[in-house]
Amino acid sequence: MKNITIASGILTKHEAGHCEKLPYKICRLSIQNLDDVVNIRAFANRSIGNLFLDRRPPSQIEQILAQNLSLGLFCQDELVGIRLTAYPSVDTPYLLDALPIPPQEIHRHARLTGVVILPPYRGQNFGSHLTQISLQELKTLGKEVVWATVSPSNYPSLRLFLNLNFRIYRLVKLHENCDRFVLKTDAQMKPLALSPPKFIEHSDFVAQTELLDRGWVGYAIERHALGYRIAYNRELDVPSTIPLLTEEGSVTETVELD
């Protein structure tokens, strides 16, 4: 069975000092792609270690692929990138790890479980593109809340999610006791407070945990010469008609939910 094509175009393959323009396709993945997906995830674990570390067995990956929500980047009929997406259920309890989802609301939730682009195809925003397609499809399926977990040291993934209106809500231990941010985006995202944000170094877990325990959220990222900082502020329960802080830091008269 052929994979369903969702988008196509031309990419640049960078390898051994050479650049080559080649056609690509973004397709929906199925269990027929299991071996290739497992191989790409194994490559990510070998090459970037704790930044990606996710030891899910092939049986769990097969269950995720069987939901027909995951996407693949194909070049010359070779799978060169993946965005795995799934929704938690009674059959996939491992997708609930570290996620505070009330059982009665589980039907509204989904989880992004890993994005990997092979090195020759990076630097072209395919990770962001695949994620945006996944988010749009989840929205049409009625999945109003989408979760992800990211290593605090994984700047590219943090920047990707925070730029797509995700926020950091928790800092937990997952995958062999590794630190992970728990991020969420919600169709009913609360506005941020007008007070000045606190910028915390990404490696200062004590300060970040203290803010998160007090109900603050991380919502933006700022790079500097020695690393990067994460901006934190409070979410408010207020009507949408009063002046509020936008993600860009300016003031608006309404709440932007999208």
pLDDT at 192: 96
Distance from C-alpha of 247 to C-alpha of 243, rounded to nearest angstrom: 13
pLDDT at 28: 96
pLDDT value at 240 more than 50? no
Query: Domain map of the chain by residue range?
Result: 5-188, 190-258
pLDDT value at 121 more than 80? yes
Percent of the chain with pLDDT over 90: 71
Distance from C-alpha of 191 to C-alpha of 254, rounded to nearest angstrom: 9
pLDDT in tens, 36-81: 999 999 888 888 655 555 678 899 999 999 999 999 999 999 999 9
pLDDT band at 145 (very low <50, low <70, confident <90, very high): very high
pLDDT value at 246 more than 90? no
pLDDT in tens, 172-212: 988 778 899 999 999 989 999 999 999 999 999 999 999 99
Percent of the chain with pLDDT over 70: 88
* Rounded average pLDDT over 29-36: 97
* Rounded average pLDDT over 227-244: 77
Residues 5-188, CATH architecture? 3-Layer(aba) Sandwich (3.40)
More confidently predicted of 243 and 80? 80
pLDDT band at 249 (very low <50, low <70, confident <90, very high): very low
Instruction: Provide the whole-model pTM.
Output: 0.86
Contact 200, 233 (CB under 8 A): no
